């Protein structure tokens, strides 16, 4: 059985669905602080908190767990700067609770949801796994620290891990059964979709004078279904005896902020207001992944790299989720 920590969230719930389709039995462990019970549609559910070590022991005692996928983390980069203690406690200290129980129970296979935030300002693009780690936020340091802890565990104990460094996770699985909950993050695509659906007055472009083709920042967007397939391949890699490893996950090409906004207008048919404002501090002009290593060693390839496909899937889910929110508010 596979334990999905944070499986009621955006990426965790999508991975849960894909794991179930691939024939795995799953149990979701989530405290529902940001996750939604409505997104736990596959496998078993155990409500618990990584800050409570007894609850972690309880889920390991109740189910025959053979591997752990860890998605439970606070992820607002800006908030991490003003509330670092909250982030270090939740994202680092609580992960150590999970590792402690895994060792107690003899479970030694772990897949970690890491981030391109470990790289900080890019020294070159596309960014490969050997790029220096230089986080510029407590959130980025959280991810880098857990990676170091896993490396130390791997050397000292019988512990095998895969860290998957995501670039910009986006979209939703095509059946729109799960996705990113509107209003739950500051990610560009859901914010632009909120403008299209009327939940925001406008969308802001922070900086139009970057050294890019249209002057706006360029990011590497990876469809959440492609992220999920990478997790399944990483799990199979560990279960078949693979050694501890780290992989970037991105498409190797980028889309600008303006390209994303224009595609949302095209897909939705809504011409919402766009406001151009000054740059934000700490926004690199371009962030693009090299995922060559994942392709070579895991056999992974992003199948949903087309921007129109990404926006169509995101929009179908967004409309459905907003309907759910509105109907709940009317009860």
Q: Is the pLDDT at 176 greater than 90, yes or no?
A: yes
**Would you name the residues annotated as active-site residues?**
139
Q: Is residue 176 part of a domain?
A: no
Question: Which burial class, exposed, middle or buried, applies to 283 when counting CB atoms under 10 A from its CB (0-12, 13-18, 19+)?
Answer: middle
Query: Same structural domain for residues 266 and 299?
Result: yes
Q: What is the pLDDT of residues 100-149, one digit of tens each?
A: 999 999 999 999 999 999 999 999 999 999 999 999 999 999 999 999 99
Q: What is the pLDDT of residues 68-110, one digit of tens each?
A: 999 999 999 889 999 999 999 999 999 999 999 999 999 999 9
pLDDT of residue 184: 85
Query: Same structural domain for residues 236 and 200?
Result: no
Residue corresponding to tokens 């460094």 = 165
Q: Is residue 73 part of a domain?
A: yes
Query: Same structural domain for residues 25 and 155?
Result: yes
Q: Is residue 182 part of a domain?
A: no
Query: Same structural domain for residues 142 and 261?
Result: no
Query: Same structural domain for residues 299 and 199?
Result: yes
Place 38 in a pLDDT band, splitting at 50, 70 and 90.
very high
CATH number, residue 136: 3.40.50.720
Query: Same structural domain for residues 11 and 58?
Result: yes
Query: Same structural domain for residues 60 and 78?
Result: yes
State the pTM of this model.
0.97
CB 178 within 8 A of CB 40: no
Query: Same structural domain for residues 195 and 109?
Result: no
Q: Is residue 75 part of a domain?
A: yes
Q: How many domains does the chain have?
A: 2
Beta strand 26-30 with 44-47 is parallel
* Among candidate residues 223, 122, 117, 124, the one with its CA nearest the CA of residue 163: 117
Question: Which burial class, exposed, middle or buried, applies to 140 when counting CB atoms under 10 A from its CB (0-12, 13-18, 19+)?
Answer: buried
Query: Same structural domain for residues 269 and 258?
Result: yes
Q: Is residue 287 part of a domain?
A: yes
Q: Is residue 150 part of a domain?
A: yes
Query: Same structural domain for residues 28 and 142?
Result: yes
Average pLDDT over residues 182-203: 94
Query: Same structural domain for residues 211 and 311?
Result: yes
3-state secondary structure the chain: CEEEECCCCHHHHHHHHHHHHCCCCEEEEECCCCCCHHHCCCCEEEECCCCCHHHHHHHHHHCCCCEEEECCCCCCHHHHHHCHHHHHHHHHHHHHHHHHHHHHHCCCEEEEEEEHHHCCCCCCCCECCCCCCCCCCHHHHHHHHHHHHHHHHHHHCCCEEEEEEECEEECCCCCCCCCCCCCCCCCHHHHHHHHHHCCCCEEEEECCCCCCCCCCCEECEEEHHHHHHHHHHHHHHHHCCCCCEEEEECCCCCEEHHHHHHHHHHHHCCCCEEEEECCCCCCCCEECECCHHHHHHCCCCCCCCCHHHHHHHHHHHHHHHHHHHHHHHCC
Q: Is the pLDDT at 330 greater than 70, yes or no?
A: no
Q: Is residue 179 part of a domain?
A: no
* Structural domain span for residue 28: 2-170+222-249
CATH number, residue 207: 3.90.25.10
User: Measured between alpha carbons, how far is 128 from 34 in angstroms, rounded to an integer?
Assistant: 31
Query: Same structural domain for residues 275 and 236?
Result: no
What tokens appear for 152 in the block? 């130390």
Q: Crossing angle, helix 257-268 and helix 188-197, to 10 degrees? A: 40
């Amino acid at each position: 059985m596979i334990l999905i920590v944070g499986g009621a969230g955006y990426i965790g719930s999508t991975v849960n669905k894909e794991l179930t389709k691939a024939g795995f039995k799953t149990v979701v462990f989530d405290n529902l602080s940001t996750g939604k019970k409505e997104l736990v549609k596959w496998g078993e559910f155990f409500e618990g908190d990584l800050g409570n070590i007894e609850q972690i022991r309880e889920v390991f005692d109740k189910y025959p767990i053979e591997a752990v996928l860890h998605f439970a983390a606070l992820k607002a980069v800006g908030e991490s700067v003003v509330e670092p203690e909250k982030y270090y406690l939740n994202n680092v200290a609580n992960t150590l609770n999970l590792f402690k129980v895994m060792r107690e129970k003899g479970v030694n296979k772990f897949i970690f949801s890491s981030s391109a935030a470990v790289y900080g300002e890019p020294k070159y693009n596309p960014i490969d796994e050997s790029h220096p780690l230089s986080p510029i936020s407590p959130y980025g340091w959280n991810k880098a620290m857990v990676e170091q802890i896993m490396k130390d565990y791997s050397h000292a104990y019988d512990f095998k891990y895969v860290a998957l460094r995501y670039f910009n996770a986006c979209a939703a699985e095509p059946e729109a059964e799960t996705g990113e909950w509107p209003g739950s993050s500051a990610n560009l695509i859901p914010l632009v979709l909120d403008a299209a659906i009327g939940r925001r007055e406008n969308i802001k472009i922070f900086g139009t004078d970057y050294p890019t083709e249209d002057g706006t920042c360029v990011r590497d967007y990876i469809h959440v279904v492609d992220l999920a397939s990478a997790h399944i391949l990483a799990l199979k890699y560990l279960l078949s005896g693979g050694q501890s490893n780290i992989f970037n996950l991105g498409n190797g090409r980028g889309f600008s902020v303006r390209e994303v906004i224009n595609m949302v207008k095209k897909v939705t048919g809504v011409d919402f207001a766009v406001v151009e404002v000054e740059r934000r501090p700490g926004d690199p002009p371009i962030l693009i992944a090299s995922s060559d290593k994942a392709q070579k060693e895991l056999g992974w390839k992003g199948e949903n790299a087309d921007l129109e496909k990404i926006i169509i899937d995101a929009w179908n889910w967004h409309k459905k989720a907003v309907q759910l929110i509105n109907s709940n508010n009317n009860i």
